[in-house]
Amino acid sequence: MREDVTIVVTAVTCSVVVLAGEPAVIRLLRRAAVIDTPNGRSSHSVPTPRGGGAPIAAVLAVSSLVAFGASALPFVMAVGAFAVVGLADDLRGLRASTRLVLQAGISCVVAVLLVWPAVGSWPPGSPQLGPAEIGLPWPATVVILIAAGPAIVVWITGFVNAFNFMDGINGISAGHAIVAGGAYAVLGALEHDTFITGAGAAIAASGLAFLPWNAFRARVFLGDVGSYALGAGLAVLAIDAVLHGVTLEAAVAPLAVYLADTFWTLQRRIRAGEPWRDAHRTHAYQRLCDAGWSHQQVTVLACGVSAVVSALGIASMTGDARLRIAADVLALGCVALYLSAPALAGREFRRTETA
C-alpha cells in the first residue's frame, strides 16, 4: 500500500510541477532569446521558444531519487546528466562531436550503475547484491560489465539521439512519453517492480502535463534538454526491465516506432548515397506531414501504433510460445505499416491534387 502511494505521489508531483512551471520557463526562454527559428528542415513556421523540457528533466530526476532512493540512481544519472548536455546545446549550441563524446561518457557511467548491482558486489567480499540474489564474484562481474557495457552505451546514446530526431512536430514526443511511460508502468506492475512502475508513471504524467503547451499551437518546444532527458529515462527503463526478467520484445516494444523510423530513415539515406549525418526532413513522420497530414494526425498515428505494439509486447510475457510468436509477428506488421504510411498517403495526396 505504501509503495502504491509513493508511485501515485511521484506521478502527481511530476504532472503538477510541469504544468505549473511551463509559463515561467517560457518567459525565461523568451528573455534569454532561446528561440527556435524555422528553416528549410522545420515543420513549423513560427519562431518558438525551445527548452520547455527543463521542468520535466528536473522533476523526474529529483522526485525519482526522493521516492525510490538507490534503485533510481542509473535513471537519475541518465536523466539529469543528459538534460544538462541538452540544456547547454539549447542555450549555446554544441558541436556534434562534443555532444557525442559527452553522451557516450554519461552512458558509460550509467552502464556501470546498471550492471554492477545486478550481477555482483563491490568492494570484493561485500554482501552480494542483485534483483534475484545473484551475487557473482567481482572478477566475474568485471567480465560481464566489459561484455555488456559497450552494448548498453550504444543503446542509451543511440536511443537518446533517436528520440531527439523524432521530436519534430507538435505533440509527438509528449504523446510518446505518455504511451511508453504507461507501458513501462504496466510492465513494472506485472513484475512487481516499484521503481519501473513509478518511473514509467512519472514519465507518462510529465508527458501528459506538457501536452497542452505543445500539442496544438506550440507555445514551447521540449528542446534538447527535454528530448535528451526523456530519451535517456526511457532507454534506462528498457534495460532495467530486461534485467528484472521482462522479455526483450516487451521491454523494447514501447520504443519500437521511434527506433524503426530512425533506423529505416538512416539506412534509406545511406543506400541513396545521401549525406546521412546532415540534418534532413525525411523521417516517416515528416513525410506524412509533407503528404498533407496535420501534426495532430501524425502524432495520433505514431502514438496509436506505439500503444498497439506495446500491448503486443506485453502479450509476449504470457509464457505461451505460440502466442508470443504471433504477437511478435503482429507487432512487426504494425511497425511496417507505419513505415509504409508516407508512401500510401503521398499517393493519395497526389491523386487529390490532380483531381
Q: What is the 3-state secondary structure (H, E, C) of 319-350?
A: CCHHHHHHHHHHHHHHHHHHHHHHHHHHHHHH
Nearest residue to 210 (alpha-carbon basis) of 201, 199, 219, 198: 219
What the block records as the C-alpha cell of 256 is: 519500437
Domain boundary among 246, 269, 285: 246
Q: Which whole-number Å values give the CA distances from 220 to 46, 47, 194, 233, 342, in the listed order?
A: 11, 10, 32, 21, 27
Domain boundaries, position 320:
252-355
Torsion angle of the four alpha carbons 5, 9, 15, 21, in this order, in degrees rounded to the nearest 10: 180
My answer on whether 113 and 200 are in the same domain is yes
- CA end-to-end span of the chain: 62
Query: Phi first, then psi: what are they for 48, rounded to 5°?
Result: -140, 140
pLDDT at 11: 96
My answer on whether 101 and 144 are in the same domain is yes
Burial (0-12, 13-18, 19+ Cβ within 10 Å), 197: buried
My answer on whether 186 and 51 are in the same domain is yes
How many domains are there within the chain? Answer: 2
d(CA 19, CA 106): 29
Query: Phi first, then psi: what are they for 255, rounded to 5°?
Result: -105, 5
pLDDT at 139: 60
pLDDT at 196: 96
pLDDT at 118: 59
Domain boundary among 246, 273, 307: 246
Contact, 342 vs 288, CB < 8 A?
yes
pLDDT at 74: 95
Amino acid at 8: V
pLDDT tens readout for residues 208-236: 999 999 988 889 999 999 999 999 999 99
My answer on whether 217 and 277 are in the same domain is no
Amino acid at 265: T
Task: State the pTM of this model.
Answer: 0.90
Contact, 48 vs 218, CB < 8 A?
yes
Q: What is the CATH number of the domain that holds 257?
A: 1.20.5
Tell me the pLDDT of the chain (355 aa) as tens digits.
678 899 999 999 999 999 999 999 999 999 999 988 877 666 777 889 999 999 999 999 999 999 999 889 999 999 999 999 999 999 988 999 999 999 999 999 999 888 877 555 444 344 434 433 444 455 655 666 667 788 999 999 999 999 999 998 999 999 999 999 999 999 999 999 999 999 999 999 999 999 999 988 889 999 999 999 999 999 999 999 988 889 999 999 999 999 999 999 999 888 888 876 777 788 999 999 989 899 999 999 999 999 999 999 999 888 888 999 999 999 999 999 999 999 888 665 455 544 4
My answer on whether 40 and 62 are in the same domain is yes
My answer on whether 355 and 289 are in the same domain is yes
pLDDT at 311: 96
My answer on whether 258 and 211 are in the same domain is no
d(CA 312, CA 323): 10
pLDDT at 307: 97
Amino acid at 339: L
pLDDT tens readout for residues 119-144: 554 443 444 344 334 444 556 556 66
Q: Is the dihedral of CA 250, 254, 255, 258 positive or negative?
A: positive
Q: Angle, nearest 10°, between helix axes 54-68 and 223-243?
A: 30
Q: Which whole-number Å values give the CA distances from 344 to 19, 52, 241, 260, 287, in the listed order?
A: 37, 34, 36, 18, 11
My answer on whether 103 and 221 are in the same domain is yes
Contact, 298 vs 169, CB < 8 A?
yes
My answer on whether 239 and 259 are in the same domain is no
My answer on whether 232 and 288 are in the same domain is no
pLDDT at 254: 97
Burial (0-12, 13-18, 19+ Cβ within 10 Å), 5: exposed
Domain boundary among 246, 269, 293: 246
Nearest residue to 44 (alpha-carbon basis) of 146, 137, 171, 163: 171
My answer on whether 166 and 79 are in the same domain is yes
My answer on whether 93 and 184 are in the same domain is yes
